[in-house]
């Protein structure tokens, strides 16, 4: 008799912030889960949560534990330089047993700057930064692998992730500035628990290999988002600076982030994955994140 889909283990490669919450959700659903991380600290954290975990460095020896057919969720970011993703290339060549599927967390950054226009999955990617070029390289390698090896590839293009422990509270406390009103365009976000729901839907998705935009349907600018977090957390509203002045002061990653804007159409996520974000109201999502932080002390 063939293996039932629910009996195929779920292996979360790069089980960090999102991965830990996904692992808990899958284990609560009765799934057989294995987490893969690089550092001892992450390994210890997972073990204290009761999540079976192994440690490996995809820049190095790439030891992959099971020789069983698996459903993978791959969340390791590409390296911090270059325009390709040799990490995922190494991992793909080391998978010993053809995966049933690979769910890959990419970014909406692959679309590049769209000057506030709406993008859907048929919009051709046009990366403006090496960071986004590395992501597109990873997506391309995965789709090629899937076509060659018969594995279903589900690519999730993820916008800014926020949630408990991932709010810009320190930035606000230290009075760091944001761009002046009207100088940055719309941006997109997702609450981590809605991202986890999207990952679960992708793990069960029955269609062919596919790309999905992810998002909560809101498109607040960076300044609007920071001011909202400040208000809800009872912190001072961040000072505003002209965008040109701010761009001179920030890291290259933040510069490319500030220089890009788009609205992400998430109709396919809603229709084909059946995901309706619980936190489609940004204010409710921030409040829930703050509540969880406070309840944890
Ligand atoms: N944060 C955002 O707003 C955002 C937006 C769009 C897309 N994404 C992407 O979505 C994914 C999930 O995000 P996240 O914030 O949950 O990620 P995260 O907390 O940064 O977790 C990344 C994981 O990758 C592992 N990892 C990194 N380098 C590795 C290597 N060389 N070998 C093996 N494992 C390695 C880390 O292990 P250790 O912890 O042991 O180092 C960690 O478990 C990531 O790919 C992220 O880049 C994030």
* Strand arrangement of the beta sheet that strand 53-55 belongs to: 53-55, 33-37, 10-13, 71-74, 101-107, 152-158, 210-213
Whether ligand 1 lies within 6 angstroms of the CB of 77 is answered as: yes
Atom of ligand 1 lying closest to residue 15 CA: 43
Instruction: Give, for ligand 1, the residue of 62, 76, 102, 216 to mutate: max count of ligand atoms closer than 8 Å to Cβ.
Output: 76
CA distance 176 to 226: 10
12 close to 73: Cβ distance less than 8 angstroms: yes
5-164+189-216+264-278: what CATH class? alpha beta
* pLDDT in the model for residue 2: 45
Whether ligand 1 lies within 6 angstroms of the CB of 21 is answered as: no
Return the C-alpha torsion angle 200, 136, 209, 38, nearest 10: -40
What percent of the chain is predicted at pLDDT more than 70? Answer: 95
* pLDDT in the model for residue 60: 87
Among 79, 108, 68, 67, smallest CA distance to 14 is for: 79
Residue 65 has pLDDT above 60, yes or no: no
pTM of the model: 0.96
Residue 142 has pLDDT above 50, yes or no: yes
Instruction: Give, for ligand 1, the residue of 19, 25, 35, 38 to mutate: max count of ligand atoms closer than 8 Å to Cβ.
Output: 38
Average pLDDT over residues 24-47: 96
36 close to 13: Cβ distance less than 8 angstroms: yes
Atom of ligand 1 lying closest to residue 108 CA: 6
Whether ligand 1 lies within 6 angstroms of the CB of 17 is answered as: yes
Atom of ligand 1 lying closest to residue 19 CA: 16
Average pLDDT over residues 36-59: 95
Residue that has been written with the tokens 């220089």 in this structure: 259
pLDDT bin (cut points 50, 70, 90) of residue 39 is very high
Instruction: Give, for ligand 1, the residue of 75, 88, 215 to mutate: max count of ligand atoms closer than 8 Å to Cβ.
Output: 75
Among 220, 214, 157, smallest CA distance to 187 is for: 220
* pLDDT in the model for residue 164: 98
Residue 67 has pLDDT above 80, yes or no: no
Lowest-confidence region among 35-44, 68-77, 249-258, 273-282: 249-258
Lowest-confidence region among 58-72, 87-101, 168-182, 229-243: 58-72
Whether ligand 1 lies within 6 angstroms of the CB of 75 is answered as: yes
pLDDT bin (cut points 50, 70, 90) of residue 152 is very high
* pLDDT in the model for residue 297: 78
pLDDT digits (tens, 9 = 90+) for 206-237: 999 999 999 999 999 999 999 999 999 999 99
Residue 105 has pLDDT above 60, yes or no: yes
Average pLDDT over residues 266-290: 98
Atom of ligand 1 lying closest to residue 41 CA: 40
CA distance 65 to 63: 6
Average pLDDT over residues 98-114: 95
Q: 65 or 141: whose pLDDT is higher?
A: 141
Residue 62 has pLDDT above 90, yes or no: no
Residue 68 has pLDDT above 90, yes or no: no
Whether ligand 1 lies within 6 angstroms of the CB of 156 is answered as: no
């Amino acid at each position: 008799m063939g293996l039932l889909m629910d009996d195929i283990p779920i292996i979360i490669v790069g089980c960090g912030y999102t991965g830990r919450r996904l692992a808990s959700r899958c284990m609560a659903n009765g799934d057989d889960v294995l987490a893969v991380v690089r550092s001892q600290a992450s390994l210890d954290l997972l073990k204290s949560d009761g999540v079976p975990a192994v440690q490996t460095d995809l820049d190095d020896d790439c030891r992959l534990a099971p020789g069983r057919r698996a459903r993978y969720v791959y969340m390791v970011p590409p390296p911090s330089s270059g325009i390709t993703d040799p990490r995922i290339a190494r991992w793909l060549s080391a998978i010993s047993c053809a995966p049933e599927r690979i769910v890959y967390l990419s970014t909406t950054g692959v679309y590049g700057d769209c000057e506030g226009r709406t993008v859907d999955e048929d919009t051709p990617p046009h990366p403006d930064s090496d960071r986004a070029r590395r992501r597109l390289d990873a997506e391309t390698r995965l789709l090629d692998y899937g076509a060659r090896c018969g594995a279903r590839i589900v690519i999730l293009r993820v916008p800014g992730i926020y949630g408990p422990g991932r709010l810009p509270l320190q930035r606000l406390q230290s009075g760091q500035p944001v761009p002046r009103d009207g100088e940055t365009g719309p941006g997109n976000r997702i609450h981590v628990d809605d991202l986890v729901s999207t990952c679960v839907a992708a793990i069960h998705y029955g269609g062919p290999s596919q790309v999905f935009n992810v998002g909560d349907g809101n498109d607040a600018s960076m300044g609007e988002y920071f001011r909202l977090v400040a208000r809800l957390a009872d912190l001072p509203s961040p000072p505003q600076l002209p965008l040109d002045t701010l761009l001179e002061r920030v890291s290259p990653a933040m510069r490319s982030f500030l220089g890009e804007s788009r609205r992400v159409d998430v109709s396919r996520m809603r229709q084909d994955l059946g995901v309706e974000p619980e936190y489609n109201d940004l204010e409710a999502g921030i409040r829930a994140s703050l509540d969880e932080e406070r309840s944890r002390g």
